Amino acid sequence: MVKVKDLTLPELKEFVTSLGFEPYRAKQIAQWLYKKRVSSFDQMTNLSKEARKLLSEKAQIDLLKLVKVEESKDGTRKYLFELEDGSRIESVFIPEKDWNTLCVSTQVGCPAGCRFCLTAKDGFTRNLTAGEIVDQYIQVQRDVGENRRISNVVFMGMGEPLLNFDNVKKAVEIMTHRDMLDLSTRKVTVSTVGIVPGIDRMAKEMNKVKLAVSLHATTDEVRNMLVPLNRKYPIGEIMAALRRYPADNNRRIMIEYVMLKGVNDSLEDARRLVKLVKGIPVKVNLIPFNPYPGAEFEPTPREQIEAFQKVLWDHNIAAFIRDSRGQDISAACGMLRTKEKACSA
Cβ proximity of 83 and 64 under 8 Å: yes
H helix runs in the chain, sequence order: 9-18, 25-30, 49-58, 130-144, 165-176, 196-205, 220-226, 235-244, 267-276, 302-314, 335-344
SS3 188: strand
- Known binding residue 157? Answer is no
The bridge status of strand 77-82 relative to strand 65-71 is antiparallel
- Known binding residue 214? Answer is yes
Phi/psi of residue 214, nearest 5 degrees: -85, 100
- Known binding residue 290? Answer is yes
- Known binding residue 343? Answer is no
Torsion, Cα 160 162 164 166, to 10 degrees, reads 160
Cβ proximity of 253 and 279 under 8 Å: no
Q: Quote the DSSP letter at residue 136.
A: H
Cβ proximity of 110 and 71 under 8 Å: no
Q: Which residues pair with 100 in a beta bridge?
A: 95
> Interior CA angle at 261 toward 255 and 267, to 5°?
65
- Known binding residue 22? Answer is no
- Known binding residue 191? Answer is yes
Q: How many helices (H) and strands (E) does the chain have?
A: 11, 14
- Known binding residue 40? Answer is no
- Known binding residue 268? Answer is no
- Known binding residue 160? Answer is yes
Catalytic residue numbers?
A: 90, 333
Please give the annotated binding residues, written as ranges: 110, 114, 117, 159-160, 191, 214-216, 290
Please give the annotated binding residues for [4Fe-4S] cluster, written as ranges: 110, 114, 117
Please give the annotated binding residues for S-adenosyl-L-methionine, written as ranges: 159-160, 191, 214-216, 290
